[in-house]
Amino acid sequence: MAVLVGKKAPLFEADAVVNGGEFVEKFSLSQYIGKKHVVFFFYPLDFTFVCPTEIIAFQDKLSEFEKRNTVVVGCSVDSKFSHWAWLNTEKNNGGIKGVTFPIVADLSKTIAENYDVLAGEWEYNEDDDYVEFSGDPVAYRGLFLIDKQGIVRHQIVNDLPLGRNVEEALRMVDALQFFEENGEVCPANWHKGDEGMKADAEGVASYLSKH
């Protein structure tokens, strides 16, 4: 699996559903470059079981991300019509009604491939006479924190059964912004409001002497 940290986030243009029900063509993360940090996450499929718990958890914390000038964008291999239907289904019926952040439709699976989170791959059969998919043609639970320059600064990829911690995604936004604003690094288990550390021997010694 590719490590994208430190590299330009792969850009794309794709259909998306925004504001809980509006179709947008040629949605792209490039609109945020120079303006906002981005939490871009993949989930396997609409109308499943772990996925709505994650998506609703991101929505519940959306105002906290917005306070940090950070946008949240979801993506799966479903169509925009599937996204729209799920966004208009009540929560007590397995839907995600009330979610307002953009959800991208990666029906071709090219976005998942470019971020290297597709849970399988295309390959020729033994006789090389046709191509077949080996694995599960959905995205792993990948999450990418992208800075204002469009650089991936953090990534995490979970297997399909393992839901993510939205609080941890928020903590990583705080850590990145603390570093950007102060030039100090964030030690283990750092949270917003904690002191940072200078990235040198003296800084490490000073920090460890206090802890």
Structural domain contains residue 118:
yes
The enclosing domain of 110 has a CATH number of: 3.40.30.10
> Are 29 and 102 within one domain?
yes
51 is catalytic: yes
pLDDT in tens, 95-127: 999 999 999 999 999 999 999 999 987 777 776
> Are 29 and 107 within one domain?
yes
pLDDT in tens, 44-59: 999 999 999 999 999 9
> Are 121 and 157 within one domain?
yes
Instruction: Find the catalytic residue in 51, 111, 169, 175.
Output: 51
Q: Is the pTM of this model over 0.85?
A: yes
> Are 125 and 182 within one domain?
no
> Are 90 and 123 within one domain?
yes
> Are 151 and 182 within one domain?
no
Structural domain contains residue 176:
yes
**4 to each of 117, 119, 144, 156, 163, how far by Cα in Å?**
11, 17, 9, 10, 21
Q: Which domain holds residue 182?
A: 165-211
3-state class (DSSP) for residue 28: coil
Number of domains the chain contains: 2
- Identify which of 72, 80, 76, 1 has the alpha carbon closest to the alpha carbon of residue 39: 72
Q: How many CB atoms lie within 10 A of CB 162?
A: 10
pLDDT in tens, 134-182: 888 999 999 999 999 999 999 999 999 999 999 999 999 999 999 999 9
Structural domain contains residue 69:
yes
